[in-house]
Structure 1
């Protein structure tokens, strides 16, 4: 069983190592996470894990 995600008020670990201009909200849960480029639509590591599980191996 996967470990539950911490509360949304806590940022994604990637946001803690990024500069302020590279941090933005996750597109699903709005948790602070690292953005990749201007206008990027990032997923935090918790939402990405859920999404990639649905995508499967293909």
Structure 2
């Protein structure tokens, strides 16, 4: 529907997030994929998860 598309476009810039496990992802991106704001503790936890699970860590949050 045209009205919905116009509404989405006028909402302003969308946050830049990489998606898909086929690309490099950093711990901060993984925290954001989980719907949370990055804090030092969350980023460290995400770094460990990426080391342990690799691409599967990203797939946990993406359909």
Q: RCO higher in 1 or 2 (8 Å CA, sep ≥ 6)?
A: 2
Q: TM-score normalized by structure 1? A: 0.30
Between Structure 1 and Structure 2, whose CA radius of gyration is higher? 2
Q: Which has the higher helix share?
A: 2
